Amino acid sequence: MRTIGRIAPALALLLVAALALLLVAPLAHADLDPRLKSRLDAETATAVSQIVAQAQASGLPTEPLVDKALEGASKKASGPRIVAAVGQYALALAGARDALGRESRETEIVVGAGALLAGVTADSLAGLRAALPGRSLVVPLVVMADLLARRVPAPTASNAILAASRAGVRDVELLKLRARVEEDIRGGMPPGTSAMMRGRALLEPGGPLLGPQSRPRPSAP
Amino acid sequence: MSAELRDEELERSFREAYRRPVPMPPLDEPALLSALAAERPPASSAGRPRWTGGGFMLSVPFAAAAALLLVLAGVLGGMALERRVTPTTPDSAQLIQFALVAPSASHVAVVGDFNGWDPRATPMRKLPSGATWTAAISVPEGRYAYAFVVDGRTWMPDPTAPLAPGDGFGHDSSVLVVPPGRSAL
């Protein structure tokens, strides 16, 4: 009887600890995004959620991170690969925000992160922001990332877009540049050569991609 | 003599002292049994088992009530967090038309950031011409990566759209940008 009397408090504490675990476990589970819970294994979902929580605490966009994890799940990537991809994306988002400035729009940060992941340097992002204060950088960054994805060397792609943007080339013309480079590459031209040639043509007054309203303006000092 | 040896000597003497038989009074079994039968259990434990230890006391009903409260708090807290993380859809969405020429495909779906990359979410319809597959989705402002899934196994980017940088999973994707209040790229 004395032995039971001694272990009873310990049993009671054990019971309370177990109940506390019962309480904490559902809370921890509920903290996960339901989309992650339903598409990823528990370990991967928890790791991704931790990255998302850190990003949220840093004021970074979090939806792209969840989307990246879901993309990995659909493409049947392994858990560690998904976590690595989401982690890299989070770092790129932070890098893009630092390079573009904290006042940047969320879409600019997301596109900037994509450009960094494609191989654009943070200096190029900052240069683009400095060249185009107050203007949306979404299209220039999308085109820059597209050129890199098509194997245009990073310095060539960055210089072409930066020069065109400084000259006041409109977004629609940058998109045409992208399409022309794609056609050239499909036709067998080296990506770097095509980007350089099309970039120069874009800056020539009366060039094939310039309309009457988009004459290049003098470069910013 | 060292301290260790003194300790051993002391221990041996204690052992010998305690192993000596101790004289006991003769056991009066009937008297002992009747005394035990007369003993009454303490009133506090009658019909209500408790765990006690020092100043700490926890009864079963109390523990059950505490457990119920804890579980209830967990469920309610979980529901609250579930609501908090549910994504919302902005009102400023635009209808985006996707198209892919794939004459030999038997099933095509468009997947991307806008539908959770779920191949079952947005199946495309084959046009009567028999070569082009289309789908239209309402997409809010933002930047989206997307791709087509042909016959459930082949992933391909949109040949008419900008490429997204490496996805980290070995498949190319495309980029869709929906600006506020204007047509998409």
Chain segment A88-128, per-residue pLDDT in tens: 999 999 999 999 998 899 999 999 999 999 899 999 999 99
Is A10 a domain residue? Answer: yes
Parent domain of B68: 51-85
Asked if pLDDT for residue A51 goes beyond 90, the answer is: yes
Lowest-pLDDT range of A129-138, B25-34, B128-137:
B25-34
For residue B91, the model assigns a pLDDT of: 57
A91 touches chain B (CB under 8 A): no
Residues A34, A76, single domain; the answer is: yes
Q: With the C-alpha atoms ordered A181, A182, A188, A191, is the resulting torsion angle positive or negative?
A: positive
Dist CA A137 CA B174 (whole Å): 18
Instruction: Give the tokens for residue B169.
Output: 């999973």
Pick the residue with more confidence: B181 or A71?
A71
Is B15 a domain residue? Answer: no
Q: Are A201 and A208 in contact (CB under 8 A)?
A: yes
Is A52 a domain residue? Answer: yes
Is A113 a domain residue? Answer: no
Residues B97, B136, single domain; the answer is: yes
Beta bridge partners of residue B126, listed in sequence order: B133
For residue B93, the model assigns a pLDDT of: 83
Residues in A touching B110 (Cβ below 8 Å): none
Average pLDDT, whole number, for chain A? Answer: 84
Question: Nearest Cα to A139, choosing from B92, B184, B97?
Answer: B184
Amino acid letter for position A63: E
Is B146 a domain residue? Answer: yes
Residues B97, B170, single domain; the answer is: yes
Give exposure, B126-150, as e/b (b: 16+ Cβ within 10 Å). Answer: beeeeebbebebebebbbbbbbbbb
Number of independent structural domains in chain B: 2
Residues A65, A143, single domain; the answer is: no
The radius of gyration computed from the CA coordinates of chain A, to the nearest angstrom, equals 25
Spell out the residues 6+ positions from residue A182 whose beta carbon is closer than 8 angstroms to its own: A150
* CB-count exposure of residue B48 (10 Å: 0-12, 13-18, 19+): exposed
How many residue pairs bridge chain A and chain B with CB atoms within 8 Å of each other?
155
Best A67, A124, A180 residue to mutate vs chain B (most B CBs within 10 Å): A67
Is B65 a domain residue? Answer: yes
Dist CA A115 CA A148 (whole Å): 8
Asked if pLDDT for residue A70 goes beyond 90, the answer is: yes
Whether A74 and B170 lie within 8 Å, measured CB to CB: no
- Among the candidates A81, A102, A123, a domain finishes at A102
Is B170 a domain residue? Answer: yes
Pick the residue with more confidence: A127 or B8?
A127
Number of independent structural domains in chain A: 2
Is A116 a domain residue? Answer: no
Give the distance from residue B29's alpha carbon to the nearest chain A alpha carbon, in angstroms: 21
Is A195 a domain residue? Answer: yes
Residues B172, B150, single domain; the answer is: yes
| Average pLDDT for A13-42 | 66
| Angle, alpha carbons B168-A188-A139 (nearest 5°) | 50
Q: What is the pLDDT of residues B48-58, one digit of tens each?
A: 555 555 555 55
Q: Are A66 and A52 in contact (CB under 8 A)?
A: yes
Question: Nearest Cα to B176, choosing from B111, B84, B129?
Answer: B111
Is B19 a domain residue? Answer: no
Instruction: Give the tokens for residue A62.
Output: 């979090």
Pick the residue with more confidence: A91 or B185?
A91
ipTM of the complex: 0.75
| Nearest by CB: B119 against A74, A88, A146 | A74
Whether B166 and A107 lie within 8 Å, measured CB to CB: no
Residues in B touching A150 (Cβ below 8 Å): 163
Interface of A with B in 93-152 (CB under 8 A): 106-107, 110-111, 114-115, 117-119, 136, 138-139, 142-143, 145-146, 148-150
Q: The domain spanning residue B147 has which CATH number?
A: 2.60.40.10
Residues B125, B81, single domain; the answer is: no
Residues B105, B174, single domain; the answer is: yes
Dist CA B147 CA B112 (whole Å): 6
Whether B168 and A145 lie within 8 Å, measured CB to CB: no
- Among the candidates B38, B65, B85, a domain finishes at B85
Residues in B touching A20 (Cβ below 8 Å): 70
- Among the candidates B65, B85, B105, a domain finishes at B85
Pick the residue with more confidence: B120 or B13?
B120
Parent domain of A64: 1-102
Is A161 a domain residue? Answer: yes
Whether B168 and A88 lie within 8 Å, measured CB to CB: yes
Lowest-pLDDT range of A3-17, B9-23, B65-79, B153-167:
A3-17
* CB-count exposure of residue B93 (10 Å: 0-12, 13-18, 19+): middle
For residue A202, the model assigns a pLDDT of: 82
Lowest-pLDDT range of A64-73, B77-86, B94-103:
B77-86
Residues A6, A67, single domain; the answer is: yes
Asked if pLDDT for residue B174 goes beyond 90, the answer is: yes
Whether B117 and A107 lie within 8 Å, measured CB to CB: no
B123 touches chain A (CB under 8 A): no
Pick the residue with more confidence: B152 or B41?
B152
Residues B103, B71, single domain; the answer is: no
For residue B39, the model assigns a pLDDT of: 59
For residue B11, the model assigns a pLDDT of: 73
Residues in B touching A96 (Cβ below 8 Å): none
CA neighbours closer than 13 Å in the CB half-sphere of residue A77? 23
SS3 B139: strand
Question: Nearest Cα to B146, choosing from B122, B177, B113, B121?
Answer: B113
Asked if pLDDT for residue A207 goes beyond 80, the answer is: no
Residues B109, B63, single domain; the answer is: no
Question: Nearest Cα to A174, choosing from A138, A124, A139?
Answer: A139
Instruction: Give the tokens for residue A40.
Output: 């990823």
Dist CA B75 CA B71 (whole Å): 6
Residues in B touching A72 (Cβ below 8 Å): 168-169
Residues B105, B78, single domain; the answer is: no
A81 touches chain B (CB under 8 A): yes
Residues in A touching B113 (Cβ below 8 Å): 63-64, 67, 71
Using 50, 70 and 90 to split pLDDT, how confident is the model at A10?
Answer: low
Whether A12 and B63 lie within 8 Å, measured CB to CB: yes
Q: What is the pLDDT of residues A132-189, one digit of tens each?
A: 888 899 999 999 999 999 999 999 999 999 999 888 888 889 999 999 999 999 999 9
Average pLDDT, whole number, for chain B? Answer: 74
Is B104 a domain residue? Answer: yes
| Angle, alpha carbons B111-B112-B114 (nearest 5°) | 115
Most confident of A27-31, A170-174, B179-183: A170-174
CB neighbours of residue B83 within 10 Å: 9
Q: Output DSSP code: residue A169.
A: -
Q: What is the pTM of this model?
A: 0.66
Q: Output DSSP code: residue B94.
A: E
Using 50, 70 and 90 to split pLDDT, how confident is the model at A206?
Answer: low
